[in-house]
Amino acid sequence: MRVPSLPRGVAAAAARGAGRLSQRLGRGGGTTLPGLVLTRLRPEATAEMAGGITGGVILVSGTNGKTTTARLIRAALDASGAKVVANTAGSNLERGVAAALLDAGGAEMALFEVDEAALPGLIDQTRPRAVALMNLFRDQLDRYGELEHLVERWREAVDGLDAATVLIYNADDPAVAEVAGQHPNTVSYGIDDARVGRDRLPHAADTTDCRRCGAPLAYDMVTIAHLGRWSCPECGLARPQPDVGATRVELHGMGGQRLALAAPSGPIELSLRLPGLHNAYNAIAATTVALALGLAAESIGPALARRPAAFGRSERTPVGNARLTTLLAKNPAGANENIRTMLLEGGPLHLVVLLNDRTADGQDVSWIWDVDYELLLQSDRLESLTVGGDRAYDMALRFRYAGLDPGRMSVAPSVSAALDAGLAACGTGDLYVMPTYTALLELQGVLADRGLAPAFWEDQ
């Protein structure tokens, strides 16, 4: 049913009322409902509100790293003194963007992390000043469909960008680079430190054929999934030399990392509290966006250094005498990086893997078979393993067929019971938890009930 568009003030008042009601009823933080109400009552509201943001709208999209990258960009913008509105705690669909804009107050700039499928629509609505395209990996095929279709939708979205929009993109992703390269106004980034390269493509690599001629790509360095220094031996299409490149990446276990970047404005040193190569990409992306927005290079490093991990993204929480590290894992590329990041630390590893199959997780749990859990077994450091969630037994089978003796794992479908089993096994040490998205929300609920963590919509 198509209702006629309501006047802007009426629609906004109704949306705010819905948000307050939702919060009072304890139905979450009211971060999504107002946007949903608003865009239903006045479909053009997002475009109108975005048009009022004088300093421009920035959109950040990609399969993995959106939340962390947006938080890092936010830190750089905050340090510059800009007044920024963002969908930090809300949904990354149009409704979340609309809800954030509704509360924009006098913000000069808007920064949104955007679901990769929602990006074309939001480019259309917000006419952004800058767009960052980070990566495309296979993810929740039942929701997003084939990667190939997403690439084509992004291509159309890039075609529709205003020439003045600056497009920041990851040169190391062959699909993203080929699509973004069509735009006249771009700044690319990538990793150029061969010491963090891996010798071959992992199983979960998606874009491995040349997008121009179809021949298999050659790599002289692979970083994550199909990211790396790629070229086509047949037609000569190759990774562009990044405008902002990491010449040195030093990973210091779970504690963080140091990066040296070469940028047109000169070298930049970053020291981060975020672990792993995936976060190196996130920090390089954020720095590149900040530079493209004209922020002073010397202000970026200090701003990023202070930023802790986002909710559930290598976030660390004390639980009794143990320390919980939560690593959201919702697709093969992300799960593989979490595994590699955990293995950066020495010593015995206590791990809880939580697999849910709800709409926001993807109902199809096939993807766990594309994850290289074998790396954990080969490391010989897995001291205890607990599997939980709606599909705990699917995860148990994944490990059984990877070669783990079923007697060495605990199966506890309830998130609370799985957490307890993990805590009992780890004693006073570190416990790692790899949840899917809704399992992460459940875990957060369990921790909040025990007085150990704030509810997620309070996260800033």
Q: Which residues bind other proteins (CB under 8 A)?
A: 138, 141-142, 145-148, 203, 208, 214, 216, 357-359, 363-370, 390-394, 396-398, 400-403, 406, 411
Pairing of strands 322-327, 313-319: antiparallel
The least CB distance from residue 303 to other proteins, in Å, is 40
Closer of 129 and 211 to other proteins (Cβ):
211
Gap between the Cα atoms of 1 and 306, Å rounded: 48
Gap between the Cα atoms of 143 and 38, Å rounded: 24
Closer of 208 and 379 to other proteins (Cβ):
208
Contact (CB, 8 A) for 107 and 37: no
The least CB distance from residue 282 to other proteins, in Å, is 26
Structure-token pair, residue 40: 């239903």
Closer of 58 and 205 to other proteins (Cβ):
205
Angle CA 437–440–445, to nearest 5: 135
Beta bridge partner(s), residue 221: 229
Closer of 209 and 345 to other proteins (Cβ):
209
Name the residue among 86, 82, 48, 84 with its Cα closest to residue 66: 86
Gap between the Cα atoms of 128 and 44, Å rounded: 16
Closer of 67 and 410 to other proteins (Cβ):
410
Gap between the Cα atoms of 341 and 314, Å rounded: 9
Closer of 189 and 219 to other proteins (Cβ):
219
Name the residue among 278, 403, 408, 375 with its Cα closest to residue 331: 278
The least CB distance from residue 98 to other proteins, in Å, is 26
Token pair 């070469």 is found at: 262
Contact (CB, 8 A) for 322 and 307: no
Closer of 108 and 357 to other proteins (Cβ):
357
How many CB atoms are located within 10 Å of the residue 51 CB?
13
- DSSP calls for 415-438: HHHHHHHHHHHHTTSEEEEEE-HH
The least CB distance from residue 356 to other proteins, in Å, is 9
Closer of 178 and 370 to other proteins (Cβ):
370
